[in-house]
Structure 1
Amino acid sequence: MSAIEKSWYQPKSLLTFLLLPFSILFWVISTLRRLSFKLGLSQSFRAHVPVIVVGNIGIGGNGKTPFVLWLVPYLQSLGIKVAVISRGYGSKAPYYPYLVTRDSAVEEVGDEPFLLASRLDCPIVIGSDRQASCELIKARFNVDVIISDDGLQHYKMHRDIELCIVDSQRRFGNGCLIPAGPLRELPTRLNSVDLVIENGAGAMLSYTLAQSGIYRVVDNKLVQQYPQQGVAVSAIGNPQRFENSLSELGIEIVKTRHFRDHYAYGVDDFTEYNDLALFMTEKDAVKCQAFAKDNWYYLRVDAKPTEALQLSIKHILKQKEIHHGV
């Protein structure tokens, strides 16, 4: 994590105030862009089926992916046929839009889309042109709704429901827009979304990340016996939450190693650890499976929403008339 990123979650410092002019410029540009879509000066598109955006107003580490991993099967349990689109940050697909499957190479499609495809039974399409992704889904699949993993600020895309994820621990950092702070939009944006959902216990509309076991990276098998100490390695937005979860399982963390979010691991990144056991997140593990050792493990977590959140989502679906056979 860079010095600038660390400053986002600390009291405002000299660095914060030095960066504020750039944040003001960012606000002016983003406000004008949003206004141009609102006034019809810029063209937006509407998909052939309703779109649910799962996004946030900050940069990374808010827990969108576990929530999408819960939301898709929840909608399917209601009889709703779902597809997911994602920008595919860090992907290197041969062309776009690109259909992600369990047989895709993680290096081509990106860590989060690969994880979604490995855990979900629905079409996953990546590409920065979300309209093209929606059109591919229209041409090849019969679905009732499209979930956009991120894209809250992609105003070119009409959305029917906006779900905004907020990290209950880090909240909005120092409250400043980037680069002085972690926000892409001001907290007032939350007044216009359909649901503000907290990642963490406490709020009525929230979910917790429940530990679902330790798995071996090399073969994705659940293990009952694992080392009680090792190195915690992560390339995620909020590594502290992951490391706390390991400690709760009684694992002594002898060393931590943090890489930037979505970092593309290579075997050379782990040479210094020799025979020490490594513990990582599931998102990290999908990028390391090809060269993993037997004593590398990952912690699987699953979103556990409150009953109030489930009822609120069901109510909004009914309100927006999103159901099977839309």
Structure 2
Amino acid sequence: MKIHDWLQRVWYGSARGGWLLVPLSWIFASVAGLRRFFYRTGVLPVTRVHRPVVVVGNITVGGTGKTPLTLWLAERLQKEGLRAGIASRGYGGSASGGPVVVQTDDDPAVVGDEALMMACREVAPVAVCRRRADAATQLTAVGADVILCDDGLQHYRLARDLEIAVVDGVRRFGNGRLLPAGPLREPVSRLAQADWVVCNGGAPETGQIGMRLAGDTLYRLADGKVATLDDFRGRSCHAVAAVGNPEPFFSLLRDAGIRVVPHPLSDHAVPSLRELGLSPDETVLMTEKDAVKCRDGAGFDAWFLRVDARLDPTADRMVSAIKRLCSNGGRRRGGY
């Protein structure tokens, strides 16, 4: 965590030494730019599937709310009579070879924690594969009307019909530098080429759709008992978060009047409450993504908080655009 913490301070704070990474950022920018150019010009092959593809991604490293937005879209499209399928790389999982349609009892060490979490919501079939194009093809075979590609903005091998970029409205783009000197996967100018930009938290800029993450219901890992945040008001609780940006989770708990003892872990880490030095009589609150992979949580007073995306009414236009894609059979983007 020490290098991770130092990088976070370089990217979003005022830690010294970040200038040493700038030459590496120049190399990263050159390689990323060439890669995108090769896909755009056909030097590298692009795979097209027989369903409209909607990519949900971001231009920064870490959590910006892509997965909650993907689930929101899947549920909203379901209400519109469309069956979405979610294609994921299955990051953190060991699955290799062909695509795998995730089942709710799959091992997160194989299919990945985020993919399993989405599958457990049961709003859309989820397929994982290192080649997202293969996952998308598998989803068409199981009856998906539209493919939602979670965290696929830079996965140019898969042709897309519509791009949605998610921005952290609080941290924005940090120091504005590309990896590894900054948090950017691509320059900020890349956002102008996305069809829609969703701002998670903070104040959305002109043309952006506002989004926030909200949750009040918790579930106990041992038996599924349901509680609300108000049930923990005034209590001291350990908070575990192995996500890209754990601070919003901790802040949500503090805003609910909970005295938080934070345990931030690296993204996709497998939390062990015993290894954290916690005892079974202490109350532990964690994210939904952590709950699907916490193997010893059932032996503790451990709960996970379900968090959902809440979007501004202007998101209706984005949903309508996806519906038009499905009725028209897909509109291929002219470039990236």
TM-score normalised to structure 1 length:
0.92
Q: 1:321 to 1:75 in 2, by over 3 A?
A: same
Answer whether contact 1:217 1:297 (CA < 8 A) is retained. Answer: yes
Which runs of 5 or more structure 2 residues have no equivalent in the other structure? Answer: 331-336
The corresponding residue for 1:240 is 247
Alpha-carbon distance, 1:290 to partner: 4.9
Q: Is the 8 A contact 1:73 1:120 kept in 2?
A: no
Q: What letter matches 1:31 in structure 2?
A: G
260-269 or 113-122: which moved more? 260-269
2:308 equivalent to 1:302: yes
What percent identity do the matched residue pairs reach? 37
Rounded Cα–Cα distance in structure 2 between residues aligned with 1:109 and 1:7: 32
Q: Residue 280 of structure 2 contacts residue 301 of structure 2 at CA under 8 Å; is this kept in 1?
A: no
1:211 to partner: Cα distance: 1.6
Distance (Å, rounded) in 2 between the aligned partners of 1:201 and 1:315: 25
SS of the equivalent of 1:298 reads strand
Which amino acid in 2 is paired with 1:8? W
Equivalent pair of 1:85/1:148 in contact (CA under 8 Å): yes
What is the match of residue 89 of structure 1?
A: 91
Q: Does 1:316 align with 2:321?
A: yes
TM-superposed CA distance for 1:185, in Å, is: 0.3
TM-score for both structures, normalised by structure 2: 0.89
Residue 214 (structure 1) aligned with residue 204 (structure 2): no
Q: 2:43 maps to which residue? A: 41
Residues 162-187 of structure 1 deviation map (CA, whole Å, 9 limit, x = unaligned): 00000111111111111001110010
Residue 9 (str. 1) matches residue 37 (str. 2)? no
Match of 1:223, as an amino acid? A
Distance in 1 between residues matched to 2:297 and 2:250, nearest whole Å: 23
1:165 aligns with 2:160: no
Matches within 5 A, 1:1-326: 1-11=4-14, 14-93=16-95, 95-138=97-140, 140-203=141-204, 205-224=209-228, 225-226=231-232, 228-253=235-260, 255-266=261-272, 268-273=274-279, 275-288=281-294, 290-309=296-315, 311-317=316-322, 320-323=324-327
Q: Secondary structure at the match of 1:297?
A: strand
The Cα shift of 1:317 comes to: 2.4
1:94 Cα deviation (Å)?
A: 6.5
- 1:199: Cα distance to partner? 0.7
Instruction: Note the aligned Cα RMSD (angstroms).
Output: 2.0
Unaligned runs of 5+ in 1: none
2:243–2:266 contact (8 Å) kept in structure 1: yes
Change (3 A) 1:176 1:51: same
Between the two proteins, the alignment pairs up a number of residues equal to: 321
SS in 1 for 2:29: helix
CA contact (8 A) 1:242 1:281 kept: yes
Amino acid of the structure 2 residue aligned with 1:198:
C
Deviations 1:110-151 (A, max 9, x none): 11101100003322100111222123223x312211000011
Amino acid at match of 1:82: A
Q: Provide the rounded CA distance (Å) in 1 between the counterparts of 2:296 and 2:240.
A: 17
